[in-house]
Amino acid sequence: MATGRTFVRIGILVTGDTAVRAAHSLSAHSSVDEVVVIGPATSKSFQVVDSAEGCDLLIGTGPQAPSRAKRHAVPLLWDGDSEADGIAVWGANPRGLTLALASRESDPRLVAVAHPDLDEGSGHQARFPDPLGSLGAVDKTYGGRRLAEAQSPNEFAACLAIGGDRRVTIIDDAAFMSGIALAAAVDVADGRPRPVWKAALPYLQAAMAMGLVMAEDI
């Protein structure tokens, strides 16, 4: 869904596979005109540029991305866990996607995420959609909110929010989900630094437009 604002140019910081996947999702998104890669780098899909001049936003992953973005003096969309100087949007990862999903529920009783990169949990069982099934989960806090985390036993990841009236899930290839969770942050950026779940509706709408599917059981 279009947001009514267009980011003319998004610069990709070469910080890993998730950033590359995000670039491909952004290149076809309605609120983005152009995606470029900030060099030094090589790319068969995008123009490589020497600097971030002319970029409206940068996108990157991992602990080094904020300092790299700060050197370019362009706001960053980030998959990291907390606010930092120069970051426009953070929490753009499967955990943040799960919190965004849960924030649309009036009475979330279980909020859980499963991903191959998470640690195995043993505190309680959380029932995710197939092909994940029931997994050991551990209760943690993310962004000041309770979130149960589980390790996926295969290549899939899942977000789960169970409320009083319905069960809402997103399940997909873990790498694909991580890329879209980062890319969809573009529709959260509006000049006010914030995590993705603080603008849950446009964030989820962007993620669905980019290819994730939300399923609901009532």
Q: To the nearest 10°, report the CA torsion of 173, 176, 180, 183.
A: 160
User: DSSP assignment, residue 52?
Assistant: -
Task: Provide the whole-model pTM.
Answer: 0.94
Q: Residues, the chain, total? A: 218
Sign of the dihedral through C-alpha 128, 129, 131, 134: positive
Rounded CA gap, 134 and 103, in Å? 23
Helix ranges (DSSP H) in 28-164 = 65-72, 94-103
Least confident of 6-15, 20-29, 183-192: 6-15
Say which amino acid occupies 190.
D
180-205 CB burial, b ≥16 within 10 A, e <16: bbbbbbbbbbeeebbbbbbbbebbbe
Cα–Cα distance for residue pair 38/174, rounded to 1 Å: 25
Helix (H, G, I), strand (E, B) or coil at 8: strand
3-state helix, strand, coil in the chain (%, to 5): 25, 35, 40
pLDDT digits (tens, 9 = 90+) for 99-134: 999 998 888 899 999 999 999 888 789 999 999 999
pLDDT in tens, 138-172: 999 999 999 999 999 999 999 999 988 889 999 99
- Convert the pLDDT of each residue in 40-59 to its tens digit: 888 888 999 999 999 999 99
Could you tell me the domains of the chain? Answer: 7-93+176-213 (3.40.50.720), 94-174 (no CATH)
pLDDT > 70 in the chain, percent: 97
